[in-house]
Amino acid sequence: MNDLNVVKVAMDSIATEMLERWAELYCNIWKEAPWNEGFWKPGEVIKDFQTEMKNPDAAAFLAVCGGEVVGFTHGYSVNLQEFQSIAGNNLLDKVFEEEDRVFYVDELGVSLLHRGKRIAFTLSEALIRSANMSGIKTVVLRTDVKADAARHVYKRLGFVELNAHDTTYPSRTYWILRNQLKNFMSLFNFDPAKKLYVGVEQECFLASVDGEGQIGGKVAPIAGRIVTTLPKRSGDSFLPEYGYELSACQLEYKVGPCTIGELGSRLIKLEEELSVYEKRLGFRRLHFEVGPEDMSLEVYPDPSGRYQEIVKTMPRNILLSACRVIGTHVHVGMPDHETALKVYNHVIKKLDWLCGVGNGSFGERLEIYRVVAPDCDPSPYADWSDLFRVACAKGFDKDPRRCWTLIRISKHGTIEFRMFGATESKDRVVKWAKLCHDLCAEAMS
């Protein structure tokens, strides 16, 4: 299904032929059990759809494969009276006690020959994101009690079936997905006890060392051997942690969270431990910010398979750019959501200055990084609803790690500064961390 495209429908530009294909598919799907609605005609379907798309917050998506429409979904927002008209009863009036409008998913369908390929799930995610971007927190729909496939999709998306049946179609129950903003905010783990604590993630390239201590001529894809041998630690703030990156030629190591005054000693301990393992395992860390153009593009053998899946459709120039850059990330702990947003909006004003302070490659590293993440400049957010709308639009509403901006609010409950280059200098890392710490403290005062 690599040629599958999910397309948002623009009524002023959608081709008539595309509409006709969609309407034909619609009629064929609703003839099936348990719907058994064989009365639909393509012309009537198109007319109804065009009317529906004039409703507030209306959105529609088509799944297109090889030029063929293989799936669709659409919906719009409704108020209390409009929803009562749809359901034929007032069983869901309580839903409207906290909000004026909810988003109603009117239709979802996938061609019989293309089911079981996550198309319905992908279409539904796109429609829910569109609703969230409109500022609507609650999504509702109805489906038949015998529609097992649809019910499975809705459960996976987080919908909850309500004890409310449609009046016109008693075999159809209503489902609700609410408070997606709350779910999004719960992805961020703030800890008041670690306010203004700092943590540092450093990246390096790897090179092999022979038996006589000579460094190999090239950056080498040996992270699989190194990472699996280094100590396994998680959540121990007193000892360094080690991890992998997309490139099998890179190693990541972390210290913290700790106070800014403790950071220097933590970095010394990290260096001492890594020096031992360099000799023991026969490798050397390299800290130039930009790797060679002819370096290996081997991907780290991620046990989850996530990296292997990512690179399947990644163009070579993007993969090369991702492999060639390394850097230093500084985290500063935040006590809560509101403080984090306030601090974030303050520190992003210093982006250009921080990029200059952290530049060790005459700007080449960030230039290459922008090939991977063209939209990496952070923007201010009015509130967490605003951040959520952006997250939905850019696809990091389920995983904040997919936000690629140079300053971001991280899932760890920190402000993460990601513009600094690679360095082997402990003093330079401490300097960067103190600058970030002080900027955050300034914003809190």
Residues of the chain with CATH 3.40.630.30: 4-178
Which pLDDT tens digit goes with each residue over 160-202? 899 899 999 999 999 999 877 888 899 999 999 999 999 999 9
* CATH class for the domain made up of 4-178: alpha beta
Best CA proximity match to 255, nearest among 334, 218, 202: 202
Residue 299 neighbours by CB under 8 Å, 6+ apart? 246, 247, 248, 307, 308, 311
Q: Which fold has domain 192-444?
A: Creatine Kinase; Chain A, domain 2 (3.30.590)
Tokens representing residue 179 in the block = 């408070």
The conformational region for residue 88 under phi > 0 = left, psi -120 to 50 = alpha, else beta, is left
Calpha distance 44→65 (Å, rounded)? 25
Compute the half-sphere exposure of residue 381: CA atoms within 13 Å on the CB side of its CA: 22
How many residues would you count in the chain? 445
Element holding 252 (H helix, E strand): strand 250-258
Torsion, Cα 286 288 290 291, to 10 degrees, reads: -30
Calpha distance 27→49 (Å, rounded)? 13
**Looking at residue 236, what is its pLDDT?**
57
Residue type, 150: A
3-class DSSP state of 189: coil
Calpha distance 76→122 (Å, rounded)? 18
| Percent of the chain surpassing pLDDT 90 | 79
Q: Is 339 buried (19+), middle (13-18) or exposed (0-12) by CB count in 10 A?
A: middle
**Looking at residue 278, what is its pLDDT?**
94
End-to-end CA distance of the chain: 53
- Per-residue pLDDT for 307 more than 90? no
Residues of the chain with CATH 3.30.590.20: 192-444
**Looking at residue 232, what is its pLDDT?**
85
Which pLDDT tens digit goes with each residue over 195-242? 999 999 999 999 998 654 455 558 999 999 999 999 987 665 577 899
Q: What is the mean pLDDT of the chain?
A: 92
36, 43, 204, 252, 287 from 325: Cα distances, Å: 57, 55, 9, 13, 10
**Looking at residue 180, what is its pLDDT?**
77
Furthest-apart CA atoms within the chain: distance in Å? 83
**Looking at residue 143, what is its pLDDT?**
97
Q: Is 402 buried (19+), middle (13-18) or exposed (0-12) by CB count in 10 A?
A: exposed
Compute φ and ψ for 321, nearest 5 degrees.
Answer: -65, -40
Calpha distance 356→362 (Å, rounded)? 9
Give the Cβ contact number of residue 148 at 10 Å: 11
Mean pLDDT along residues 20-36: 95
Which pLDDT tens digit goes with each residue over 119-152? 999 999 899 989 988 888 899 999 999 999 999 9
Mean pLDDT along residues 283-302: 93
Residue 316 neighbours by CB under 8 Å, 6+ apart? 297
Residue type, 99: E
